[in-house]
Structure 1
Amino acid sequence: QSVAVCSWRSGAALRRFLGHEREVTKVTSACDSNRVFSASRDRTVMMWELHGTSGPRQRFPGHGLVVTGLAVSPDASQLCTGSRDNTVYKWDTETGECVGRAAISRNLVTHLCWVPGEPYILQTSEDKTVRLWDSRELQVAHTFPAKRHIQTCCDVSQDGRYCLSSSSGSSGEGAEATLWDLRQTRGRVREYIGHFQTTTSCVFLPGGPAPTPGIATSSCDSTVKVWDRDTGGKG
């Protein structure tokens, strides 16, 4: 029910934000911003300031069920939230006002992320699809080809060229991560297969000494795997 700010060097909790009445489901922040956002099973989203008080700076109530998706615009002025109630909301972070709402039948949102430098939001769903929303009118701009399993998580590369989604699965069936072309064909580029249970998250790794770009996935099979983005090979 709390949000902890930790030192990445020591792992020690530096401070803790309190305000939610049930478990926290998602936490996100915008680069170069001191604002942190949290979603909860209490059906609300809260905004906190890293250097402010321990209480919430802003509250965003409105969803009818647990909030499962959370994405903030690069300038932290807008917030997009999604829920198991089949809705996606857009909020003004300064006023707390809801400035957009969209509902799609069976669209149980599992994750949201904002495309860097663009007005688009990527969303995964229990209906096995990945959607790209235009945040300006809060309308679906593109729906990727449906997968065979629930899509559990998504991420977008820093250059905005590619996106990732991960799948549920069991006994080696499903549980793959999928790389999609976000700018040109908007088709499937590659799959990363190797987990034996649901893949719970997928992320693009920041650039480093590796000669090729990498991605990482985590799974209910108790493993984390690092992959070569371009070949699908495991590191």
Structure 2
Amino acid sequence: MLPLSCQLKQAPPQKVLCRCWAVMGKLQSKLKHSTSKYRPDAVIEERIQTKTFQDYSPAHLDTTVFAVAALNSELCVSGGKDKTVVAYNWKTGKVVKRFKGHEREVTKVACIHKSSQFFSASRDRMVMMWDLHGSSQPRQQFSGHAMVVTGLAVSPDSTQLCTGSRDNTLLLWDVETGRYVEKATVSRNLVTHLCWVPREPYILQTSEDKTIRLWDSRGLHVAHLFPAKQHIQTYCEVSDDGQQFISCSSGFGGEGCEATLWDLRQTRNRICEYMGHFQTVASSVFLPRALALVPVIATSSHDCKVKIWNQNTGACLFTLSLDGSGPLTSLAVGDTASLLCASFSRGLHLLRVDHRGGLQLQEVASF
């Protein structure tokens, strides 16, 4: 009998090759079925998303969306490059209504709490007020800025609207009449975002001059100036109790690119910083307390990632990559377990927060 090496040499090459592939195929089949629980989390997460993901009808005619806000527990409003404001039911995946009136891109949207009314700001220097149950024409128009409007904030009683612009100016409006009652201008104060403090007469404002200002709406003057950061401040969000707020920083390559938690009470000092994004942080939200045992926040960035953080320690609890979406531009809480995320290249994303087996974030739909 010939040695094994000789047998292999004498065997036809095709048969040996087929036998090898057959053995490898069986081995791969065994690995596929027996080792799935040992795969990296990213692989498992991708497989789950593919199974449950829904591609809804697009909200906007152009996939570039700059701002999104929750109108109620199933409807959101958004604005983008197509110059329209859209009311969308993200639970059914259908457009409820489109609002046309702006002549250029929509930069910001803001909703009146427990109402069907909302506002939009645009590069056309106009602010418009809409009603979901009214006509498709704006209910009120606010004209007074000399450049693109980049900030919108509604007072807690819904009677006043504060707007900010790259013209270094803040205007305080009477919502009913559509006329501004106060005006304030600060040199080099290019407004990036505005947020009204709940149950208070104060308005937070971030700026390209790297500072955060707290305005008193009674006379529209600066009540407090927070310590300047090293990078442009892009966004601010106040907690529901009005005691804390988050600011977001621009940056690149991990330099800057952080979110910061501040105290709005006596000390008004930095409480915590959330560092881990590699490009500008564009938006942040406080997540509902029912989601986790500890307070958590979420941030979205131009690096196509949404991160969930332990609010107290600054530890990153989960990262979701929305690759191919371009810069993530805006973030909003949809309901107690859902987030809405606007992006530059793929419209809007519906994200689901799951706290079973550890806090996780999953993309379940895009529109």
Q: State the TM bucket, normalised to the shorter chain.
A: over 0.9
Question: Partner letter of residue 202 of structure 2?
Answer: Y
> Counterpart of 1:35?
117
More helix by share: 2
Take 2:112 and 2:295, find their aligned partners in 1: how far apart are those partners? 23
Alignment partner of 2:92 out of 10, 25, 39: 10
> Counterpart of 1:45?
127
How many pairs are equivalent? 235
> Counterpart of 1:210?
292
- The CA RMSD measured in Å over matched residues stands at 0.8
How far the C-alpha of 1:8 sits from its partner, in A, is: 2.5
> Counterpart of 2:279?
197
Q: Does 1:138 align with 2:138?
A: no
How far the C-alpha of 1:206 sits from its partner, in A, is: 2.1
1:44–1:63 Cα contact (<8 Å) kept: yes
Alignment partner of 1:105 out of 187, 194, 210: 187
> Counterpart of 1:160?
242
Take 2:93 and 2:300, find their aligned partners in 1: how far apart are those partners? 20
Take 1:78 and 1:33, find their aligned partners in 2: how far apart are those partners? 15
Alignment partner of 1:59 out of 141, 146, 149: 141
> Counterpart of 1:121?
203
Take 1:89 and 1:151, find their aligned partners in 2: how far apart are those partners? 20
Take 2:214 and 2:139, find their aligned partners in 1: how far apart are those partners? 29
Take 1:87 and 1:37, find their aligned partners in 2: how far apart are those partners? 18
Alignment partner of 1:187 out of 269, 282, 289: 269
Take 1:20 and 1:83, find their aligned partners in 2: how far apart are those partners? 16
> Counterpart of 2:151?
69
Deviates more, 1:39-48 or 1:25-34: 25-34
Take 2:92 and 2:311, find their aligned partners in 1: how far apart are those partners? 30
Alignment partner of 1:226 out of 282, 302, 308: 308
Question: Partner letter of residue 249 of structure 2?
Answer: S
How far the C-alpha of 1:76 sits from its partner, in A, is: 1.3
How far the C-alpha of 1:234 sits from its partner, in A, is: 1.3
Take 1:12 and 1:148, find their aligned partners in 2: how far apart are those partners? 42
Take 2:278 and 2:311, find their aligned partners in 1: how far apart are those partners? 20
1:33–1:76 Cα contact (<8 Å) kept: no
> Counterpart of 1:148?
230
Deviations along 1:99-143, one digit per CA (max 9) or x if unpaired, are 010000000000001101101000000000011000111000001
> Counterpart of 2:71?
none
Take 2:94 and 2:267, find their aligned partners in 1: how far apart are those partners? 44
How far the C-alpha of 1:30 sits from its partner, in A, is: 1.8
> Counterpart of 1:79?
161
Among all aligned residue pairs of Structure 1 and Structure 2, give the percentage whose two residues are the same amino acid.
Answer: 66
Take 1:64 and 1:171, find their aligned partners in 2: how far apart are those partners? 34
Question: Partner letter of residue 186 of structure 1?
Answer: R
**5+ unaligned residues in a row in structure 1: which ranges?**
none
Higher RCO (Cα < 8 Å, 6 or more apart): 2
TM-score, normalised to structure 1, is: 0.98
Take 1:35 and 1:22, find their aligned partners in 2: how far apart are those partners? 21
How far the C-alpha of 1:205 sits from its partner, in A, is: 1.3
Take 1:104 and 1:166, find their aligned partners in 2: how far apart are those partners? 21
Compare CA radii of gyration and give the structure with the larger one. Answer: 2
Deviates more, 1:155-164 or 1:208-217: 208-217
SS in 2 for 1:148: coil
Take 2:294 and 2:285, find their aligned partners in 1: how far apart are those partners? 15
